[in-house]
Amino acid sequence: MQFGHFDDMRKEYVIDTPATPLPWINYLGNEDFFGLISNTMGGYCFYRDAKLQRLLRYRYHSVPADEGGRFYYIREKGKSAWNPGFLPTRTPLDSYQCRHGLGYTVFDSEKDGLRAELTCFVPLGETCELHDLKLINQGGEAKTLQVYGCVEWCLWNAVSDGENFQRNLNIAESEVEPGVIYHKTEYRERRDHYAYYGVNVPAQGFDTDRNSFLGHMGTWADPQMVREGTSGGSLRVGWYPIACHRLDVTLEPGQSWRCTFVLGYGQNPRERKFIAPGVIRKDAAHRVMKKFASGEAVEAAKQALAAYWGKLLGKFQLQSGDEKLDRMVNIWHQYQCMVTFNMSRSASYYESGVGRGMGFRDSCQDLYGFMHIIPDRARERIIDIASIQFSDGSTYHQYQPLTKRGNNDIGGGFNDDPLWLVGAVCAYIKETGDFSILDHPTPFDNKPGSEAPLLEHIRRSVQFTMTHLGPHKLPLIGRADWNDCLNLNCFSAEPGESFQTFGPSEGPVAESVFIAGMFVKYGGEYAALCR
Amino acid sequence: MQFGHFDDMRKEYVIDTPATPLPWINYLGNEDFFGLISNTMGGYCFYRDAKLQRLLRYRYHSVPADEGGRFYYIREKGKSAWNPGFLPTRTPLDSYQCRHGLGYTVFDSEKDGLRAELTCFVPLGETCELHDLKLINQGGEAKTLQVYGCVEWCLWNAVSDGENFQRNLNIAESEVEPGVIYHKTEYRERRDHYAYYGVNVPAQGFDTDRNSFLGHMGTWADPQMVREGTSGGSLRVGWYPIACHRLDVTLEPGQSWRCTFVLGYGQNPRERKFIAPGVIRKDAAHRVMKKFASGEAVEAAKQALAAYWGKLLGKFQLQSGDEKLDRMVNIWHQYQCMVTFNMSRSASYYESGVGRGMGFRDSCQDLYGFMHIIPDRARERIIDIASIQFSDGSTYHQYQPLTKRGNNDIGGGFNDDPLWLVGAVCAYIKETGDFSILDHPTPFDNKPGSEAPLLEHIRRSVQFTMTHLGPHKLPLIGRADWNDCLNLNCFSAEPGESFQTFGPSEGPVAESVFIAGMFVKYGGEYAALCR
């Protein structure tokens, strides 16, 4: 399926219509702060963990589809409000373009002679998204506009946010400063972190209460405040907290205008978290707002991001003479691998970011894609993965990125897992020549005191496979091997039983030809490594 | 807040506007099948367990609010489609009335000379909702209409339905017979139950694929098929399954018309679940569709339900001379208590039905409200509750209604719980004189072989309190006592820790004056009972 084209000069994928059959998404962020953003401005962002520290509320499988994310409205008096990303307003645009680049996304659209260009990215070294908006009046008359920027807060834990209403309808808290709205839910009792949404030009109005902004039975497509061109100044505690700024703008013909919204995460030393009773310390937010106070600073952050990606991808470049192959190998494949490193498939538009954490098997496989780009971080990832292995060589099937501990909900018993670690370590050494990783003291099940050299971990992986054989002397499959979408050796019949961990129903004798094949390959690599 | 009035003759609460500040809900069902229904037709239904066996997808905190449930559309060519419950179409109505009665809800509205009356209830003895629709052409000209009835299926487990998209976008399965659509997701592999949505008059079209029905980027407010007056006949496997019927109706002036939609749950003996490869046995659905094939049969089921409630509430009637007091005591208070018996606060518009199951403390307290109405079921409930108690007299804080087993996620440690059982048992005996309950063999933690007379359970409750005292010889609070919204003796500081079970942070010495007060009251009752 193709809904746009590649712009090779800019290294961007250009989408020419908002009406893609499915949202077409990009990933923002490289270190601790990440965002998912679709070609219609849907998605969400989080700090380190998509389940536990989610900033924006996003409803997977919502109707209308892909609702939630960055809500922007441009309103000219007497006309329907519109959004350069088309949603949520659905107002037809005179032109629309979404460009997904390396770590940023641009919405570049036009309506009634007004052009809007909105660029979203996570600046290097900061825990925030920037939404940089430029307007140009390309018409022949002056325009009186109102610009609304709005986000809806998730109450941090994305699961309880959608389940525990007895609690979460009572806990929301905000603070408002000129141009910056703070989401400090749970801060008083349990937390030393907050989120904020600010804008670097003077704002003329705000709202923090969703129902005030949308109006009774309101929709994101047509908020009451936008329809009326006003703001409620709502300061609601509890219920559904949002952060919304209104900017009044007048543009002469040919005149342009720019502002940058900052959507960020801040945290404080626990012992200094308040500056007055109930008033949170905002140093982190103030520093970031000041840093991006000017368009020049925002522009510099964009350039730095481009340089970062240029350097990362520059380590490995192919000139094959085939334009498409070069593009795939040099840009998009490496970019995908870096995103996979960052997210490890835990958050996307299929993975809701709340369930699985990072897979042992997946993460071992993913290493192959980025160890040449970021060998140091690949090494750290290998140690993280090996640290959830049990002392008998088997392993948790998943771990949480925030805690780096094995996920008890799913446990172990996926018997191909141990051998993937052997493959990953061998591949890492082949790529880097760094044999010293084999000596790295690495715990079992993250237990302090259980550390053993990494070589011992992969020895136990091999041992586990060799000592868990079935009636035909092939490796036992446990709950499943790699083909766990096809062959799950579990069979739950009652509601409430996990389809993935209940059983094994066929008894403890099912064997895996796939694991046997892995053993031939990775057992051989292990033997070669030992030699 | 008042948004309507009581109709004492009919024993109904009449809501005169769809624009209530919050959805105004009723509860349908008395035995195994339950529905929540709002004054704008939102809500969902389930068989026995709101988490594990949910039929309809409902998005708590959705925008627009209260979306999901029973989607009906009445379309007259050239005009906007409307719904007698106002949502999801939001088409302004000439008149609107919602009437919540005892176990049923009626929507009675008018638009352009067409009157629609839709009555929703769960018939006694069956596991289904009936949606009984009557239309009357009150205008002077013939009307050519299309009626759509539509529901969106939840993939049974309401939690994974909203989280695990890698799985649940691949598993949906439907079957279609003339006038009946079957939701058989997971049936092939793991289940012997299905849901169905049928209509008792010939249908002219259907859809089972949500996106086909709504159209690209479509909304429930304005589905493409309704807008175009057609049906897609979509038979999609996977993604988002719905069941939608289209009925073409022509009404002369003064003419009336009636049909009944049946939304039901069926199950089969496991060994006879298929009638042909991949084709499910539908005996249960066929029997119910046949039973309600005529308007007379539906009318009889309504009468039976009214008689059931009349008998239940007739056991206790007050004639105080104060109309409002009588109404509260004779109708609404008893009705609420019966709903509480059925749901035990596990599913409502605040409790999402997925989290907590039934509370030990709550269920003990709730007993006071219905033991005079349904003493046999109250007795059974007491035994169920006592069966999750641990052998040391402490107890799980919650249990799942489907399995009746203690909920491990929350565990125990709410130290007021044990004494509530003492209070409930004493109150039951005072009301019924049934001392034999004290001899009932009742297990601890549902372990077969651990049965002891119920009297021994309440003895251990008292003992637990007496042997868990703090420095001032007052009962230890554990994690919390009854005031657990105010005084939770837990304190989590890290994301991912439960606010309810992490700790106790103040050490194991915190005492509860509240539990001490309970001990004075229920310890005394226990002593009197022993004498």
State which residue of chain A sits closest to B48, comparing Cα positions. A495
CB contact under 8 A, B214 and A157: no
Residue B65 amino acid letter: A
Residue B344 pLDDT more than 80? no
Which positions in chain A touch B59 (Cβ < 8 Å)? 59, 62
CB contact under 8 A, B163 and A493: no
Cα–Cα separations (whole angstroms), residue B499 to A176, A237, B494: 27, 20, 10
Which positions in chain A touch B492 (Cβ < 8 Å)? 190
B141-181 pLDDT tens trace: 999 999 999 999 999 999 999 998 888 899 999 999 999 99
Catalytic site residue B484? Answer: yes
A200-251 pLDDT tens trace: 999 999 999 999 999 999 999 999 999 999 999 999 889 999 999 999 999 9
Of A112-116, A487-491, B412-416, the poorest mean pLDDT is in A487-491
State which residue of chain A sits closest to B86, comparing Cα positions. A217
Total CB pairs under 8 A between chain A and B: 121
Residue B202 pLDDT more than 60? yes
- Shortest Cα distance from A387 to chain B (angstroms)? 20
Q: For chain B, how long is the longest CA-to-CA vector? A: 84
Which pLDDT does position A484 carry in this prediction?
79
What are the DSSP calls for A178-218, one per residue? TTEEEE-TTHHHH-SEEEEEEESS--SEEEEEHHHHH-TT-
- Shortest Cα distance from B499 to chain A (angstroms)? 8
pLDDT, average across residues A507-527: 93
Interface test with A, best of B53, B54, B59, B61 (most A CBs within 10 A): B61
Residue A116: pLDDT band (50, 70, 90) is very high
Interface test with A, best of B152, B156, B159, B217 (most A CBs within 10 A): B217
DSSP symbol at A374 = -
Interface test with A, best of B163, B209, B211, B502 (most A CBs within 10 A): B163
Which pLDDT does position A401 carry in this prediction?
77
Which pLDDT does position B119 carry in this prediction?
98
Q: Which of B61, B65, B270 sits opposite A217 (nearest CB)?
A: B65
Residue tagged 């109250």 (tokens) = B378
**Residue A137's beta-bridge partner residues?**
A114
Which pLDDT does position B417 carry in this prediction?
96
Residue B481 pLDDT more than 80? yes
- Among A293-297, A339-343, B327-331, which range has the highest average pLDDT? A293-297
B312-341 pLDDT tens trace: 999 889 999 999 999 999 999 999 999 998
Which positions in chain A touch B65 (Cβ < 8 Å)? 217
Contacting residues for B234 by C-beta, under 8 A, at least 6 apart: B207, B208, B209, B212, B213
Question: Per-residue b/e over B151-165, b at no fewer than 16 CB within 10 Å?
Answer: bbbbbbbbbbbbbbb
State which residue of chain A sits closest to B154, comparing Cα positions. A61
Of A3-12, A148-157, A373-382, B460-469, the poorest mean pLDDT is in A3-12
> Mean pLDDT of all residues in chain A?
93
Cα dihedral across residues B314, B319, B320, B326: positive or negative: positive
Which pLDDT does position B3 carry in this prediction?
77
Residue A463 pLDDT more than 80? yes
pLDDT, average across residues A332-359: 87
Helices B333-343 & B375-386, crossing angle to 10 degrees? 40
Residue A332 pLDDT more than 80? yes
Which pLDDT does position B246 carry in this prediction?
98
More confident residue, B399 or B516: B516
Can you give the length of chain B in residues?
531
Residue B356 pLDDT more than 90? no
Residue A487: pLDDT band (50, 70, 90) is low
State which residue of chain A sits closest to B240, comparing Cα positions. A61
Is the distance from CB of A406 to CB of A399 less than 8 angstroms? yes
Residue B500: pLDDT band (50, 70, 90) is confident
- Shortest Cα distance from A249 to chain B (angstroms)? 29
pLDDT, average across residues B7-34: 93
Which positions in chain A touch B351 (Cβ < 8 Å)? 165-166
pTM (whole model) above 0.80: yes
Contacting residues for A9 by C-beta, under 8 A, at least 6 apart: none
> Mean pLDDT of all residues in chain B?
93
Percent of chain A surpassing pLDDT 70? 98
A156-185 pLDDT tens trace: 999 999 998 988 899 999 999 999 999 999
Which pLDDT does position A46 carry in this prediction?
96
Which pLDDT does position B487 carry in this prediction?
66
Is the distance from CB of B14 to CB of B5 less than 8 angstroms? yes
